[in-house]
Chain A
Amino acid sequence: MLETAERGASSSTKAPPHERYLEAFRWMLTARVLEEKLASLYRGGMIVGGVYLGRGQEAISAACGMFLDKSKGDLFAPLIRDQAGRSAFGEPLLDVVRTYLGSAKGPMRGRDGNIHRGRPREGQLAMISHLGAMISVLVGRLMAKRMRGEKGFVGLTTIGEGGMQTGATHEGMNIAAVEQVPLVVVATNNHYAYSTPNDREFACAALVDRAKAYGYEGATVDGTDLAACLDVIGGAVKRARAGRPPQLVVAEILRLAGHGEHDDASYVAPEIKKESFAQDALQRAEKLILDEGLLGREGLQQMRAQIAAEVDAAVATAQQEDAPHASEEDWSALSTRELADQFA
């Protein structure tokens, strides 16, 4: 389940406590239920733009959010398939639905949508669509915290195997190692960059080999195995927090949805769906919960019903809220209003 790259530190094989399984499962299920609702709203024409799902990525994503602690000053720079991690990090359901529905009360106030949301002051960065761009931004925040004398914090950012191929990712990963900031980069290989399979994305034997090249400690993990994800991500966060070099974790999964809900993913090869990494992480986690006796079937159903009720309540709230009005928009991209250029 776990390999470390040549320069990788040995990871603890001690399983995390069982209560974390249940906590993680709850975030995974929250993401799945919420995203099913978002997909349904999208199909009903209630959401403009796009909806991007993390189906299949919930285990690795939940683990990313769970080991970060805002009270320690931790920072999270998620990407498009990180609903589970965002929720685990503390993102309210209302932030999600308000942003997707364009509510003026959401964190982006209708100025940006879907997965571009964030609360930078509360530690969750607001991604831009250009892949790899958030890595160096997170590095800068970590540097600034260190300059101010803060200690004990980490930053975690996520990327896909598609985003791993950009110049910005290369520059960002390299500068993180040069600055020796407490950073964890979690790269999830979901085997398709939109429609492009791995053989047209990269030609190295294993993405984790890049850890050594950048001066990181590297690890791989089966992204469909919740227990392994908690173990490996927990270990990487712990090492980064302890002052080890930046950490690269590469998780293997299959994206169990289209790139977005507009995409039927008909290009996914039938044979890849039989691979071990193509399993549904949520189903595996559910089995883990049952096997460990943490909850019975009834308990699982209750949890799902409770989450569905929370999601429905959030959607109902956001749907009643005002959309942004162009007439009330001040149309200034600068906080220094007197420096905004005037156009007749």
Chain B
Amino acid sequence: MSVTYLEAIREAQARLLREDERVFIYGQDIAGKFGGAFKATKGLAEQFPGRVLNTPISEDAMVGTAIGAAMEGMRPIVEMQFADFSSIALNQILNNAGTHYYRTSVPVPITVRLPSGGTKGSGPFHSQSMEGLYSHYPGLVVVTPATVEDAYTMLIDAVQIDDPVVYCEHKYLYYHLKAEALPDDKLPIGKARIVRPGRDLSIVTYSAMVHEALGVANELSPDGWEVEVVDLRSVKPLDTDTVLASVARTGKLLCVGEAFPWGGVTAEVVARVASEGFHLLDAAPARVNAKDTPIPYHPNLWSEHRPNKSSIAAKARQILAE
């Protein structure tokens, strides 16, 4: 018996619907036998009548509706078909959900699920990683689970949090990642995890890039390099303490993210380490991100556009040599 990352998301939603009558799911093509573009809600509409609802292609109104329902005490989950389309809902997420508690003292507990990140052939509009953009604005919690276990427990936590949560689930991990079973315990949102201890270099990353970083760590190991890999898990709040503690052990930082290179999560991590842990560093902190172009369609281009084992390993070797 094994559970995929996608099944963990479905099981988390099934459990939420079963245990919390305030929960409903709102999104495109998620109801009926169809169960969503990626099947993250398959079977749930039949199991929970009236609580898994199809919407028109209206991302702005989907989120607006969820915000209103949340004000009334519900715990809506909005499924974006692809993270990319949440740009249509930016106004509702950033300006309505993100400001509401600060302005009125009334929190807006919505969870917006963003099927994020690149897969072969998906091109410019079905591949984006938007966690940096959402993290830039106040009033939102932004999580980026990299494991089956986190996909499950962080979605349950996201819905239980009284504030808006942007839940970035990576499409590449949907089927590629499997666990033995659903987890019994969890690490809370806001805590990073050391997924591989090391002494020579800290690779700080999140979401699918955790697995690329682990591959790089394994590749460098025979050469005598012990690379520590830190999975941020949530990018906002960002667990600066765990990152600084890691850099204190290794003296070197490489931050890896799949999003575009200007600003974003990796820049934030480097900025924090440089300003709060400058004395810990034995080399200039570095970043590997996607390239500063739209995400290309052809696999030959796409695989070089995003960070990959070879580009991460090259940068890691460069820092290690310093």
Contacts and interface: CB of A to CB of B under 8 A. Distances in A.
B68 interface: yes
B236 A138 contact: no
Interface in B58-79: 58-74, 76
B190 interface: yes
A206 interface: no
Interface in A91-122: 107-108, 111-112, 116, 118-121
Given A333-B98, A335-B163, A341-B237, A140 B68 contact: yes
Contacts, number: 152
A141 B161 contact: no
Given A128-B99, A133-B64, A336-B162, A140 B69 contact: yes
Interface string B36-70: 00000000000000100001101111111111111
Nearest to A135: B64
A175 B95 contact: no
A334 B141 contact: yes
B257 interface: no
Nearest to B237: A341
Interface string A118-132: 111100001011100
Contact of A339 (B65, B103, B163): B163
Interface in A136-160: 136-145, 147-148
A137 B64 contact: yes
Contacts of A138: 68
B68 A336 contact: no
Contact of B60 (A119, A120, A136): A136
B95 A336 contact: no
Contacts of A266: none
B73 A144 contact: yes
A116 B190 contact: no
B103 A137 contact: no
A320 interface: no
Name which of B24, B72, B95, B275 has the most chain A CB atoms within 10 A of its CB: B72
Given A141-B71, A339-B237, A344-B275, A175 B58 contact: yes
B106 A137 contact: no
A121 B106 contact: yes
Interface residues of B, number: 51
Given A107-B104, A137-B68, A333-B101, A174 B58 contact: yes
Contacts of A338: 190
Contact of A136 (B61, B141, B275): B61
Interface string B178-211: 0000000000011000000000000000000000
Chain A contact surface mostly: helix
B310 interface: no
A116 B104 CA distance: 10
B242 interface: no
Contacts of B88: 167
Given A111-B102, A133-B64, A342 B69 contact: no
Given A175-B56, A336-B163, A339-B141, A136 B236 contact: no
Nearest to A340: B237
Name which of A142, A171, A172 has the most chain B CB atoms within 10 A of its CB: A171
A108 B155 CA distance: 32
B309 interface: no
B162 A136 contact: no
A168 interface: yes
Contacts of B103: 108, 111-112, 116, 126
19 contacts: A108-B103, A111-B103, A112-B103, A133-B95, A133-B96, A138-B68, A140-B67, A143-B69, A148-B72, A148-B73, A168-B91, A171-B59, A171-B60, A172-B61, A178-B55, A333-B98, A334-B139, A336-B163, A344-B240
Interface of A: 107-108, 111-112, 116, 118-121, 126, 128-130, 133-145, 147-148, 167-168, 171-172, 174-175, 178-179, 332-336, 338-342, 344
Interface of B: 24, 50, 55-56, 58-74, 76, 88, 91-92, 95-96, 98-104, 106-107, 138-139, 141, 161-163, 189-190, 236-238, 240, 272, 275-276
Nearest 9 A-B pairs (CB), nearest first?
A140-B68, A136-B64, A144-B72, A171-B61, A140-B65, A333-B139, A171-B58, A136-B61, A333-B138
